[in-house]
Amino acid sequence: MLTVILSVVAALAVWTIPAGAAERAILAPAPAEDAPLAVAPASETVVLAGGCFWGVQAVFQHVPGVRNAVSGYAGGRKETAEYETVSSGRTGHAEAVEITYDPSVVSLGELLRIFLSVVHDPTQLNRQGADVGTQYRSAIFARDEEQRRLAGRYLAQLDRAGVFGDPIATRIEHLEAFYPAESYHQDFATLHPGHPYIAAIDRPKVENLKRLFPELYRETPALVSSRAVEH
């Protein structure tokens, strides 16, 4: 198993990264309507997809109030929730991250604002930069009607204001299930900081979080490796 994992990581390391491939960062205004902060510590989850899950996970691991951010798959069936199969673009899955957070520390609206501002470019349809396919689509997987409502209102607010210049391509989808990705994908940005993709694409995302949202940045990431993740 270790040999297989190392072989996959080595294969990923030879990817060529186009110059200037990192997505732009645009500071979106706060949502006009947001879920109020809880009066006591609690636990909520939201599943977000915005291109390669390495960078999505890396950003949210640095957000205060986020207890865990797990890379995985959403939008397809359990039997196809496997990296090589999902990479075909024919499974319905998107590379996604399940974010478990404390709503007394950080709100859903703040997480969505980070997602749309620094995690990815929400105007790109079924791609992020050189990563092309429906598995790289921009999506908010709503677990209930309240998440769907708040997300929909925020996207409409930003579109009306023309914040990103182009129409927002982010989809709101119903969350049927979330399937954690293979262990070698977890904490990838932290464990492989010298990987060309991480250096060119994902490290700038974390730096943009620190620059644009200093009040929503913590230096030490919340790593999956400190928790048990089933697949």
**Active-site annotation, residues:** 52
Alpha carbons within 13 angstroms on the beta-carbon side of residue 61 total: 27
Number of H helices, E strands in the chain: 8, 8
SS3 content of the chain, % helix, strand, coil (to 5): 40, 15, 45
Buried b (16+ CB within 10 A) or exposed e, 43-65: ebbbbbbbbbbbbbbbbbbbbeb
Q: What residues form DSSP beta bridges with 140?
A: 48, 172
Write the CB contacts of 22 (distance below 8 Å, at least 6 apart in sequence): 129, 200, 201, 204, 205
What H or E segment, with its residue span, contains residue 179? strand 178-180
